[in-house]
Structure 1
Amino acid sequence: MGSRSFLPMSIVRAARRAVPGVLAAVVVAALAHAAVWLVNEQQVHAPDVSGKLESLSFAPYNAAENPEKGDIISPQRLREDMEVVAPYTKSIRTYAATGGLEKIPEIANQYGIKVMQGIWISNDEKRNEIEIKNGLDLARRYPNVTSLVVGNESVLRGEKTAKELGEILRKVRAESPVPVTTGEIWSTWLEHPELAANVDFIAAHILSYWEGVPREQAVQTAVDVYDRMRAAFPGKHIVVAEFGWPSGGYNMKGAEPGPVAQAEILRDFVNRARDHGMDYNIVEAFDQVWKTNEGSVGAYWGLFNADRKLKFDLAGAIREPNKERIVGAALLVGTLLSLIAFALRRPTFWHALMVAGAAQAVGAWLAVTIAHPLSHYLVVGSAVMWVAGLILLVPLALLSLARIEEIAAIALGRGPTRLLPERIEPEAFGPVPEGSLEALGLTERPKVSIHIPAYREPPEMLKQTLDSVAALNYPNFECVVIINNTPDPAFVKPIEEHCKRLGSHFKFVNVEKLEGFKAGALRVALQHTAPDAEVIGLLDADYVVSPDWLSDLAPLFSDPRVGLVQAPQDHRDGHRSIFHAIMNAEYAGFFDIGMVERNEINAIVVHGTMCLIRRLALEEAGGWSSDTITEDTDLGLSILEQGWTAHYTRRRYGHGMLPDDYRSFKTQRHRWAYGGFQIAKKHWRRFAPGGTRLTLGQRAQFMMGWINWMGAEALGVAAAILNLLWVPVVAFGGIALPDSVLTLPVVVVFLINIIHFALLYRLRVKLPFRHCMGAGVAAMSLQFTIARAVALGLFKDSLPFLRTDKGSGKKRTAGAFPAKWEAILGSLLLLGAVLLAATNKDEVREIYVFAIVLVVQSLPFMATVVMAFIERRAIAALAAADSDTETVAEPIAVPASALTPAGAVSATPSA
């Protein structure tokens, strides 16, 4: 059968008219994006550095070398690095006289560079002896060695006491031909003034970053500390042996690292030091990637990066490095993503602008995230976090873009055009091609065979469904009731007798040991369907239908292109308690928001009740399949793949029963998610070009639907668990903290979801705000359930079909707590957030952001706990009102004319 999908010419013309508006929106979004970058560009002016620096710390290790692993630096490598620094400094400071570094004075002498020779002092006494011997030997051999620096922060690290270091200093001074000192932070000198008696000059480290000093005060603080040192040690020469500022890493209280801050501070300090007559050494020449022991900033103190490129200009305006490339990439990616606005259905300018703006924001985030390695050294921990962040967050960002598009379409768009009106007239859909009805064997009011499968359903509930069917004001129908795998006669006999009472429209089928779940029952129902039935109607056993269900919707099949017509699910017991109201509100969003939008491109999701299917379409699609546990959605997609057209109405033509309890609510959603995953695995190959009659829009809608529902929830749980595992590393290890670029998006995605839920529920579902929020809690509470179903789908090809208990008449008891694992995970995430905040002594901003992310990620898990407690409160209230049984519904009056004296047909299928 040829393709039956169609797009009205009015929509095509509207799309063509919309192109100029969309183009304007895309251009405006791109210009706004560029303006944001321009306004936020950091361009700082600082004093130029004239002439060479006084001194640079010289640790000649590249990104692949690590002195802690015993790496030896060759003379050739030393010479290469010396050539790099020679044009910029008069002197260098070293920190050790072993590991190949003992060659530095000789090579520095060839470049006319003076050396403050370091002697490394630690708890390794054997190495200390070699260091001292080598240092003294170098001081005697090379005239460019101007002093010996014995030990570097040895007292601060606790490797030597001030007394022990003093003894070493006295020994070295007795043999040294040059002045001797030790390097310690300025506060150590003030705490141990006795050290000054054992040195020829004081080598003080003044590093404002480690004291949490804001960048604006960093230089003045250093000058003040220098003056304080001079006052504390009059007559003693003071050298600022280390001053610097990191170009990367995290903040230390008020101290913010960064490339612009580093350039501004160092250039300002060099000029202030010159004016103040201060001898200084800048730490350091090259970034030291191996310095993970110094936290996030350890690798970023160099004047040159690890590739030996100068990080900033020593004169002129200071600009952020790589900014042009990042901005260019952000605008390019953002503009490419914003082109999706041209694929929007009849967009308004504001609809397209919101989508294009969101696309530009995603482009900016992607560019910054992907460019992260340009300005950061990724060691193992940070590389793992960066890769994991990309894997988890890029899909979430794209899903958020899809949700923003839905917000824009509903809040700012033109509204739906394919949605069926409240009252259906066949002529509303245009003339029917001559002869088409006859070719399909159709009449204007085709015969409908309503199939009601039942498995252990409460008889009183099912009787109400049958009574409502008997009250239909459509004359040309039959009803096949099939009870399967229900050996208890208490569930069977009352229904058989009721079908006989209702008359010849009703057929009763009872089959035991049936395989194939609900699909198997529906296949049996087809065997007992009247040969002249042209349309199959599906009802769940708990659904009470409106009398005009068929009279309104069945005439739509006079259009030979129509393969199925779907009405929403709804429920008649949402008023019983706040718990039931919340569940009912959560269901409503899908049918009033998602289904309406999907209907616009003929891509609705079929659900196995309140659905009418052309018998021919069902047969072409292969009939009911048992290879998924969501046979209805599977069949609906197969029908669309055959090129049939589907219609959807928002009018509620039927009302069923809500799940009995929260556990049943979760069980039902688990089945839907697992079945959805099965369908995705079954059908994805057909989504390739030429493999299906689905349009590109239909394929995109189904793919995004699967990813948006199952993928987002699974990714959310995976991200939460990974972050939870990372908490002790951050709290106690102090390393590999996720950067804000990898954590803030989680908060943004959460806020988008909240806006999406609250706004669209108000606009489409039109519920009170408290019900919207309750629906949001209910939806969030299912995240772990859906993620678990997806995880099982990865490893198991099939699961048993679990019936959702509805109207079962069970005694209302609380039972086992249905949110145990969610409570555990949610509590651990909250405890992790508290732990991070409590151990964040340095007030690192990224740690606070990480803690906030953990709180946000805990909310879906805690929502499950909230739902469980709301259910228990509802159980208590309902038990007080009715301690015996569940109330399934108000009795339904069935007109006497709907009943006939003839008995119902009872049949048993052949083997």
Structure 2
Amino acid sequence: MFLLQVVLVGLYGLCLLLLLGFSLTQWHLTRLARRAYARLAEDAPPAPPQWPRLTVQLPLYNEQYVVERLIDACTALRYPTHRLHLQILDDSTDETVALVAARVAYYQAQGLRIDHVRRPERTGFKAGALAHGLTLTDGELVAIFDADFVPEPDFLERTVPHFFRDEPNGSRTGVVQTRWGHLNEEFSLLTTLQAFGLNAHFYVEQVGRQQGGHFLNFNGTGGIWRRACIEDAGSWSADTLTEDLDLSYRAQLRGWQFRYLPQVAAPAELPATMDALKSQQFRWTKGAAETARKHLGRVWRSSQPLSTRLHATFHLLNSCVFVAILVMAVLSVPLVFVRAVGAEELRPVFWLAAFFLLALVPLTFYFRTAWQQARQHRQPPGPGFAGQLLLFLAFSMGLSLHNSRAVLLGLIGRSTAFIRTPKLGLLQGPGAWRGRRYRTSRLLSGLTWLEGLLAAYFLFGIGAGLYLHEYGLLPTHLLLATGYGLVFFYSLRHAE
């Protein structure tokens, strides 16, 4: 019995140490980001003497609710017409095809160079579509927008000159990435919490990595690639679910530089239903694990500074945090009873639980910095910080079962299909997602019911702690019960 207690406490402690390491990494990125913001200015470089040939690629798959909005926004981009080429990379199997054909014909009649590209098979999914499109264009630069994006007319004018900043020939700048804006942040609690988490990535992580000279990542959309960079790095590959992260690491390991512009936003729609969010989360977390499996060894064999290799390791393995959260969560309820039965020799070890609260200190600094930056771009400023932070932490914990499965599948190399995130064109109006259902999988799977059972499990942990007067794990169980409860509630609600 004593050995079992030691194993439980030991595993719990290892998970907490991993979380603390992740938290400290985010704290360091926050310090770097704050240093960058202290001297960040809108000092846009001058326009190049001659604007390069630029292709705008729009990869689509069954996007009937947003495709016309996307095409209209991209045709309004200001750029020399004779240097611009729009490619609609349409793998759709529904009425999207007819909608695209009509919009393309309309703009072709106005003299725009815009093509409707259809492949006989959806080989390679998004990566395959992007690679195929490159064979049909002469663009030197390639801008990419997913179907839910609505770029501002001045997007290209504000981004393209950065390829030539401090480099007359722009020879080693491979990517210019911009920040994502949110078209429907206030649609629901679900979208508000997503925006809160994404803002931390775009306002802190990307800025901090750039300031420290560490590896960045193209975010799949809302950015521009130099064609020579894509080709030199080996082009797009579909052997991971995050083709953007994969190509980003291949390019930077080849010596290409990435530029990130937090001052330029590319507005986009957040997933408004739980099945859409889970689809996106599965792809991101599994893809990151697959990319880590593919490139982590190369990163450590490279000549990059030790700090860059360490940051790249946490970057590629950050989805493993969900596994640590899940293991820690499942073990936490038995630990209430281990404490209660009076294992005095182990009692000092239980102070490890304090590391969980300690890990929240740098994370609070991290999210607070992102929230402050985001407030400057919102009118009105939005809801308070403390409530959003606690709900976001709880919600992230509630996704740990779903995301842990994705991470483990990625680490062991299990192949799964690329399931795109449904875009429903929802900007306001509760319940408006009804009638626009695009099912990516069974809405109520066995995993969903297990999430409901875990919510009950952590409620039991709360009750046990109160009954036994063991309060050390009470905050953890409150967050876990809230998070799994929210995930289970939205899964049921959006299955209607």
Indicate the TM-score class for this superposition, using the shorter chain for normalisation: 0.7 to 0.9
Equivalent pair of 1:586/1:779 in contact (CA under 8 Å)? no
Tell me what 1:598 maps to.
Answer: 209
1:610 matched to 2:184: no
Alignment map for 1:107-122 (pairs within 5 Å): none
Tell me what 2:464 maps to.
Answer: 835
Which of 183, 204, 207 is equivalent to 1:572?
Answer: 183
Tell me what 2:198 maps to.
Answer: 587
Tell me what 2:137 maps to.
Answer: 529
Equivalent pair of 1:579/1:867 in contact (CA under 8 Å)? no
- The residue type equivalent to 1:586 in the other structure is G
Task: Choose 1 or 2 for highest CA Rg.
Answer: 1
Consecutive unaligned residues in structure 1, runs of 5 or more:
1-291, 293-378, 428-441, 841-846, 880-911
Q: Higher RCO, 1 or 2 (CA under 8 Å, sep at least 6)?
A: 2
Equivalent pair of 2:36/2:207 in contact (CA under 8 Å)? no
Q: Residue 727 and residue 591 in structure 1: after superposition, are their counterparts in 2 closer, same or farther (change >3 A)? A: same
Give distance in 2, aligned partners of 1:830 and 1:750: 22
Equivalent pair of 1:673/1:786 in contact (CA under 8 Å)? yes
Which of 410, 415, 427 is equivalent to 1:798?
Answer: 415
Tell me what 1:904 maps to.
Answer: none
> RMSD of the TM alignment (CA)?
3.2
Alignment map for 1:45-124 (pairs within 5 Å): none
Q: Which digits, 9 at most, give the CA deviation of each residue in 1:242-288, with x for residues without a partner?
A: xxxxxxxxxxxxxxxxxxxxxxxxxxxxxxxxxxxxxxxxxxxxxxx
Tell me what 1:469 maps to.
Answer: 74
Alignment map for 1:811-890 (pairs within 5 Å): 811=435, 816=444, 820-839=449-468, 847-849=470-472, 851-852=473-474, 855-866=475-486, 869=489
Following superposition, the deviation at residue 599 of structure 1 comes to 1.6
SS in 1 for 2:249: helix
Q: Residue 604 and residue 661 in structure 1: after superposition, are their counterparts in 2 closer, same or farther (change >3 A)? A: same
Q: Which digits, 9 at most, give the CA deviation of each residue in 1:432-462, with x for residues without a partner?
A: xxxxxxxxxx97411111111101111x511
Give distance in 2, aligned partners of 1:860 and 1:625: 37
Following superposition, the deviation at residue 802 of structure 1 comes to 1.1
Equivalent pair of 1:777/1:867 in contact (CA under 8 Å)? no
Give distance in 2, aligned partners of 1:623 and 1:812: 35
Which of 715, 718, 731 is equivalent to 2:327?
Answer: 718
Following superposition, the deviation at residue 524 of structure 1 comes to 1.1
1:672 matched to 2:284: yes
1:749 matched to 2:371: no
- The residue type equivalent to 2:184 in the other structure is D
SS in 2 for 1:624: coil
Among the aligned pairs, what percent are the same residue? 24
Give distance in 1, aligned partners of 2:436 and 2:148: 19
Equivalent pair of 2:149/2:269 in contact (CA under 8 Å)? yes
Alignment map for 1:183-202 (pairs within 5 Å): none
Q: Residue 472 and residue 755 in structure 1: after superposition, are their counterparts in 2 closer, same or farther (change >3 A)? A: closer
Alignment map for 1:75-224 (pairs within 5 Å): none
Consecutive unaligned residues in structure 2, runs of 5 or more:
165-169, 376-380, 426-432
Tell me what 1:777 maps to.
Answer: 391
Equivalent pair of 2:462/2:478 in contact (CA under 8 Å)? no
Give distance in 2, aligned partners of 1:415 and 1:819: 41
1:698 matched to 2:308: yes
1:507 matched to 2:121: no
1:496 matched to 2:97: no
Give distance in 2, aligned partners of 1:725 and 1:796: 32
Q: Residue 616 and residue 695 in structure 1: after superposition, are their counterparts in 2 closer, same or farther (change >3 A)? A: farther
SS in 2 for 1:848: coil
Which of 442, 457, 465 is equivalent to 2:63?
Answer: 457
Give distance in 1, aligned partners of 2:265 and 2:332: 46
If the length of structure 1 is used for normalisation, what is the TM-score?
0.47
Equivalent pair of 1:382/1:736 in contact (CA under 8 Å)? no
If the length of structure 2 is used for normalisation, what is the TM-score?
0.83
Following superposition, the deviation at residue 474 of structure 1 comes to 0.7
Alignment map for 1:297-696 (pairs within 5 Å): 379-409=2-32, 413=35, 415=37, 421-422=41-42, 424-426=44-46, 444-458=50-64, 460-475=65-80, 476-484=83-91, 486-488=92-94, 490-503=95-108, 504-530=112-138, 533-558=139-164, 559-600=170-211, 601-688=213-300, 691-692=301-302, 694-696=304-306
Equivalent pair of 2:61/2:90 in contact (CA under 8 Å)? yes
Alignment map for 1:273-312 (pairs within 5 Å): none
Q: Which digits, 9 at most, give the CA deviation of each residue in 1:555-590, with x for residues without a partner?
A: 222322211100112221224344433333332221
Following superposition, the deviation at residue 384 of structure 1 comes to 1.9
Equivalent pair of 2:290/2:413 in contact (CA under 8 Å)? no
Following superposition, the deviation at residue 407 of structure 1 comes to 4.6
1:760 matched to 2:378: no
Q: How many residues align?
A: 464
- The residue type equivalent to 1:745 in the other structure is F
Q: Which digits, 9 at most, give the CA deviation of each residue in 1:287-316, with x for residues without a partner?
A: xxxxx9xxxxxxxxxxxxxxxxxxxxxxxx
Q: Residue 762 and residue 737 in structure 1: after superposition, are their counterparts in 2 closer, same or farther (change >3 A)? A: same
Equivalent pair of 1:762/1:768 in contact (CA under 8 Å)? no
Q: Which digits, 9 at most, give the CA deviation of each residue in 1:33-67, with x for residues without a partner?
A: xxxxxxxxxxxxxxxxxxxxxxxxxxxxxxxxxxx
- The residue type equivalent to 2:3 in the other structure is V
Give distance in 2, aligned partners of 1:573 and 1:837: 40
- The residue type equivalent to 2:163 in the other structure is F
Q: Residue 555 and residue 772 in structure 1: after superposition, are their counterparts in 2 closer, same or farther (change >3 A)? A: farther
Q: Residue 540 and residue 821 in structure 1: after superposition, are their counterparts in 2 closer, same or farther (change >3 A)? A: same
Q: Which range moved further: 559-568 or 497-506? A: 497-506
Give distance in 1, aligned partners of 2:235 and 2:99: 30
SS in 1 for 2:263: coil
Q: Residue 615 and residue 609 in structure 1: after superposition, are their counterparts in 2 closer, same or farther (change >3 A)? A: same
- The residue type equivalent to 2:316 in the other structure is W
Q: Residue 866 and residue 812 in structure 1: after superposition, are their counterparts in 2 closer, same or farther (change >3 A)? A: farther
Equivalent pair of 1:392/1:719 in contact (CA under 8 Å)? yes
Q: Residue 569 and residue 535 in structure 1: after superposition, are their counterparts in 2 closer, same or farther (change >3 A)? A: same
